[in-house]
């Protein structure tokens, strides 16, 4: 029994003859019983996670941050650059990276990134290939954000509304 | 009372159809070795089936009852095709489940208004299974959050049963192959992330 069969059976999508054959087999095969149990846990987890995604499309912790104005964020970006350049002799100006919908973009690793988006939003989330949040922050006026240097890898860059709804998503390769 | 909170993981021998006839002959003859073999082959499977359908309560008694019914039926000659022994066992166990459900529903109707009908078995998780459920949920969230929006939408619609696979494919412009690929990648990712968690936990010093 493969995973697809197990999933079909547990979701009630198996035709009756297939379900009957499977149940007869489960009476005598411990390996397939284990497969059913694992698949059941998987389905239950995915269902609960999907419910949570439906109910809360964005991270609720961020919703407070929409109060930061674009102007303040822009000033902070400029200030960061100034302070960093004065005190960090190894400071390098962030690399400008233009992100355009449905196009994968490459950026250099080990450098700050001045991300410019073709469309607007309020917040930004960058997620790495391990589904960990690499960076979060506000989007400044002019649809841009300066993010710290990131490791090499593939990232999803998500632009969210003030309420946390996903507006746009971009693919970013850092090498 | 012994409760069975998880199915057995040993691999049972799978008997070919020809040996079903032999086994049925032994049971019909009342041979103790035959009865023992019948129990050895089917007990874990019957227990698994009953546990999934009606829960852990009185599970040992239910398994015992099932075997009593199966054995008596075979000895009465109710099983016309011995090679269909597996199908016969399945039928009897399903009837037992149906009877249990009917009895439970009737009992609840007598005692409570119909709006208060509860689930038929207490499937609350024990601490270990609660922990597994929590961990699995976190891994599933990580899987969904790590996906591009389209793939995430496919899985949310499918696992929330908002749409059938065909409807999802039609609306999102996917072929069946693409749909299956999205699902299998998610499952593979789930397995990988889950294993990483287990490995990380194994490296932590004991509390």
Residue A156 is inside which H or E element, if any?
A: strand A153-160
Query: Is there a contact between A24 and B149 if contact means CB atoms under 8 Å apart?
Result: no
Sign of CA dihedral B191, B196, B201, B202: positive
Is the pLDDT reported for residue A51 higher than 70?
A: yes
**What stretch(es) of chain B map to CATH 1.10.1740.10?**
17-111
ipTM value, please give it.
0.78
A11 in contact with chain B, both atoms CB, cutoff 8 A: yes
- Decide: A156 and A127 in contact? Cβ < 8 Å: yes
Query: Is there a contact between A42 and B42 if contact means CB atoms under 8 Å apart?
Result: no
What are the DSSP calls for B2-18, one per residue?
----S---SPPP---HH
Enumerate the residues of chain B whose CB falls inside 8 A of the CB of residue A167.
Answer: none
Bridge partners for A173 per DSSP: A106, A154
So where are chain A's domains? 3-55, 60-174
Output the pLDDT for position B111.
Answer: 58
Is the pLDDT reported for residue A89 higher than 70?
A: no
The CATH topology of domain B17-111 is Rna Polymerase Sigma Factor; Chain: A (1.10.1740)
Partner residue facing B14 (CB), from A29, A37, A171: A29
- Decide: B136 and A41 in contact? Cβ < 8 Å: yes
Is the pLDDT reported for residue B65 higher than 50?
A: yes
Query: Is there a contact between B156 and A42 if contact means CB atoms under 8 Å apart?
Result: no
Angstrom distance (rounded) from CA A123 to CA B14? 58
Partner residue facing A27 (CB), from B49, B136, B186: B49
Q: Helix-strand-coil percent breakdown of chain A, rounded to 5?
A: 40, 25, 35
Tens-digit pLDDT profile for residues B149-195: 999 999 999 998 888 899 999 999 999 999 999 999 999 999 998 88
Neighbours of A113 (CB within 10 A): 24
**B127-203 belongs to CATH 1.10.10:** yes
Angstrom distance (rounded) from CA A154 to CA A157? 10
- Decide: A57 and A165 in contact? Cβ < 8 Å: yes
Closest to A57 in 3D by CA, of A134, A160, A169, A129: A160
Chain B residue nearest residue A21, CA to CA: B87
Query: Is there a contact between A156 and B146 if contact means CB atoms under 8 Å apart?
Result: yes
| DSSP state for residue A60 in the 8-state scheme | G
B199 in contact with chain A, both atoms CB, cutoff 8 A: no
Min CA distance, B179 vs chain A (Å)? 12
More confident residue, B140 or A166: B140
Closest to A37 in 3D by CA, of A2, A13, A4, A6: A6
B137 in contact with chain A, both atoms CB, cutoff 8 A: yes
What are the DSSP calls for A115-152, one per residue?
EEESS--SEEEEEETTS-EEEEEEPBTTTEEEE----S
% of chain A surpassing 90 pLDDT: 19
- State the pLDDT confidence band at B120, using cuts at 50, 70 and 90: very low
The CATH topology of domain A60-174 is Immunoglobulin-like (2.60.40)
Which of A30, A35, A52, A166 is the best mutation test for B, with the most CBs of B within 10 A?
A: A30
- What is the average pLDDT value for chain B, to the nearest integer? 81
- Decide: A80 and A113 in contact? Cβ < 8 Å: no
- Decide: A113 and A146 in contact? Cβ < 8 Å: yes
- Decide: A117 and A137 in contact? Cβ < 8 Å: no
Is the pLDDT reported for residue A141 higher than 60?
A: yes
% of chain B surpassing 70 pLDDT: 78
Chain B residue nearest residue A46, CA to CA: B140
Closest to A13 in 3D by CA, of B14, B47, B159, B170: B159
Tens-digit pLDDT profile for residues B49-59: 988 888 787 88
Sign of CA dihedral B151, B155, B158, B162: negative
Query: Is there a contact between A37 and B161 if contact means CB atoms under 8 Å apart?
Result: no
Bridge partners for A158 per DSSP: A125, A169
**What stretch(es) of chain B map to CATH 1.10.10?**
127-203
B99 in contact with chain A, both atoms CB, cutoff 8 A: no
Closest to A30 in 3D by CA, of B158, B11, B118, B189: B11
Query: Is there a contact between B45 and A33 if contact means CB atoms under 8 Å apart?
Result: yes
């Amino acid at each position: 029994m493969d995973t697809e069969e197990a999933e079909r059976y547990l979701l009630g999508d198996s035709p009756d003859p297939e379900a009957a054959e499977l149940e007869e087999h489960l009476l005598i095969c411990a390996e397939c019983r284990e497969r059913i149990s694992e698949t059941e846990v998987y389905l239950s987890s995915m269902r609960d996670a999907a419910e949570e995604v439906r109910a809360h499309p964005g991270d609720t912790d961020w919703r407070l941050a929409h109060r930061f104005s674009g102007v303040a964020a822009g000033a902070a970006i400029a200030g960061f650059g100034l302070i960093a350049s004065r005190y960090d002799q190894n400071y390098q100006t962030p690399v400008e990276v233009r992100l355009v919908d449905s196009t994968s973009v490459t950026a250099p690793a080990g450098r700050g990134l001045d991300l410019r988006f073709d469309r607007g939003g309020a917040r930004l989330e960058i997620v790495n290939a391990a589904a960990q949040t690499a960076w979060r922050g506000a989007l400044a006026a002019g649809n841009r954000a300066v993010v710290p240097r990131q490791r090499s890898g593939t990232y999803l860059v998500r632009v969210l509304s003030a309420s946390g709804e996903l507006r746009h998503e971009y693919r970013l390769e850092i090498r | 009372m012994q409760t069975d909170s998880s199915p057995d993981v040993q691999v049972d021998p799978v008997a070919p159809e020809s040996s079903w006839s032999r086994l049925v002959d032994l049971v019909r003859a009342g041979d103790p070795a035959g009865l023992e073999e019948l129990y050895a082959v089917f007990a874990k499977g019957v227990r698994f089936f009953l546990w999934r359908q009606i829960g852990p309560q009185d599970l040992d008694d239910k398994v015992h009852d099932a075997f009593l019914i199966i054995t008596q039926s075979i000895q009465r000659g109710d099983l016309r095709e011995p090679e269909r022994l597996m199908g016969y066992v399945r039928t009897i166990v399903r009837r037992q489940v149906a009877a249990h459900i009917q009895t439970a529903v009737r009992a609840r109707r007598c005692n409570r208004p119909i709006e208060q009908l509860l689930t038929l078995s207490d499937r609350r998780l024990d601490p270990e299974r609660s922990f597994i459920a929590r961990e699995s949920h976190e891994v599933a969230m990580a899987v969904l959050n790590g996906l591009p929006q389209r793939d995430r939408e496919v899985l949310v619609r499918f696992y929330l049963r908002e749409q059938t696979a065909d409807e999802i494919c039609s609306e999102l412009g996917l072929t069946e192959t693409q749909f299956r690929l999205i699902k299998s990648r998610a499952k593979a990712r789930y397995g990988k992330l889950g294993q990483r968690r287990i490995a990380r936990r194994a490296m932590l010093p004991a509390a």
